[in-house]
Amino acid sequence: MHYQSFWKPLDRAELPLLRWVERVRCGGAIEQGTRVITEAGQYGAVWYVVAGVAAYRDPVKRNRWLSAGAKVAGIYAANTALKMVARRQRPPVAALGTPTGLSFPSAHAATSYAAARLFSDIEPGLKPLFYFVALNVTGSRLHFCVHYPSDLVAGAALGDLAARTLR
């Protein structure tokens, strides 16, 4: 199967939104802060740090935090395998370099929404914070146009579904 021809209609439909984001993207401090957020989300790193710190600080729930962090890592690995199968290329307007040229589904979104779901089960009072961070990590990818919007929606949905399944 020729993957580019499969993705071409969706790419064509979503590219105008990315071109708009490219035109209105903020620079300066917002750009710098967004870059920090997107780099923190690389490979799901921010979520492993949260799980590790929480495990250290909360010995009663230590095993739950470590298990949740490991599940997020597993979801990242599964998402990466799915990218290799889907073979959707990054948008031509991407403003950042990435480890691969593959776009679908977004691993930043998958790990973020998986972590938000799993971590909220452990600390329900922090649910709004976990989802706020997940939304920002995911949105940072749109800010830099390194994913089509459907990559982000699919990654978030897959991450949440995987987390629900692994609970």
58-99 residue pLDDT tens: 999 999 999 999 999 999 999 999 999 999 999 999 888 888
Residues forming beta bridges with residue 102, ordered by sequence position? 89
How many other β-carbons are positioned within 10 Å of the β-carbon of residue 122?
A: 17
69-80 residue pLDDT tens: 999 999 999 999
**Angle at which helices 62-86 and 149-166 cross, to 10°:** 140
- pTM above 0.75? yes
114 contacts 95 by C-beta, under 8 angstroms: no
